[in-house]
């Protein structure tokens, strides 16, 4: 893997963090700073389901069976999205890759284009903080399914799924661990500072 060049104004990023870490909010801020789109598998799936597209119907059938969307289908959707014009100069991935199989799929796709991920932003939030934020959000939104047990289970799955991915990217030296606690602006500044240290330049 080649390191990003200092003169390269593109940014190919992945943001990772547990539920309640604020990665959705920070992802949008970072993407805007670099003039790149946020590519969220969850958003893509929901949009297709809402529009009733063939893909949406396929995903709905899978989810209705209680199954996870297969890695190959998820990767195909992401490859299609990353091939669109607005993602030519970079993107910020949110929710993909979720496992080492998807990491391999993404590597292969980017390698075909002569690219690689520039950085992986890992929002570091203590488990207690995540649970506290999610519990508060559930109360505010009246989400009765977000019980403390359900929240803890989702965090367990995240930790099991994500740890191997972070290990892979850690070996490549592209993980920036960022303190995800504090004010929104403070967290954004920490992320931008970490990316600037890699020579990634903001959009003009």
DSSP string, 142-194: T-TT--HHHHHHHHHHHHHHHHHHHHHHHHTT-EEEEE--S-HHHHHHHHHHH
pLDDT of residue 6 exceeding 60:
no
pLDDT tens for each residue of 16-25:
999 889 999 9
| pLDDT averaged over every residue in the chain | 90
From the list 12, 98, 133, 190, the catalytic residue is: 98
Q: For residue range 171-198, what is the model confidence (pLDDT) as tens digits? A: 999 999 999 999 999 999 999 999 999 9
* From 29, 79, 127, 154, active-site residue: 154
**Residue 198 burial by Cβ neighbours in a 10 Å radius (0-12, 13-18, 19+):** middle
For residue range 114-150, what is the model confidence (pLDDT) as tens digits? 999 999 999 999 999 999 999 998 889 888 877 888 8
Residue 71: is its pLDDT beyond 50? yes
- From the candidates 29, 79, 137, 198, which is the catalytic residue? 137
Give pLDDT, residue 9: 63
Concerning whether 154 is annotated as a catalytic residue, the answer is yes
Q: Is-catalytic flag, 98?
A: yes
**The token pair that represents 20 in the structure block:** 């309640």
- Which structure tokens are listed for 167? 């290990």
**% of the chain exceeding 90 in pLDDT:** 69
Q: Is 23 a catalytic residue?
A: yes
E runs forming strands in the chain: 11-16, 38-40, 90-94, 119-124, 175-179
Query: Where do the domains of the chain lie, and which CATH numbers do they carry?
Result: 11-196 (3.40.50.300)
- pLDDT for position 13: 98
Q: Indicate if 137 belongs to the active site.
A: yes
């Amino acid at each position: 893997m080649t390191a990003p060049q200092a003169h390269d104004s593109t940014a190919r990023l992945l943001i990772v963090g547990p539920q309640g870490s604020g990665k959705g909010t920070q992802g949008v801020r970072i993407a805007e700073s670099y003039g790149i789109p946020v590519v969220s598998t969850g958003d893509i799936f929901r949009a297709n389901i809402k529009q009733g597209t063939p893909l949406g119907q396929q995903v709905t059938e899978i989810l209705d069976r209680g199954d996870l969307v297969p890695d190959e289908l998820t990767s195909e959707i992401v490859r299609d999205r990353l091939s669109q014009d607005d993602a030519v100069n970079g993107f910020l991935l949110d929710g993909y890759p979720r496992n080492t199989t998807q990491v391999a799929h993404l590597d292969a796709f980017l390698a075909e284009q002569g690219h690689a991920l520039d950085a992986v932003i890992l929002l570091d939030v203590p488990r207690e903080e995540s649970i506290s934020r999610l519990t508060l959000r559930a109360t505010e939104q009246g989400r009765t399914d977000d019980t403390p047990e359900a929240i803890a289970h989702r965090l367990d799955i995240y930790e099991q799924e994500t740890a191997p991915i972070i290990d892979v990217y850690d070996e490549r030296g592209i993980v920036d661990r960022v303190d995800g606690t504090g004010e929104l602006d403070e967290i954004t500044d920490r992320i931008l500072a970490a990316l600037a240290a890699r020579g990634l330049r903001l959009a003009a």
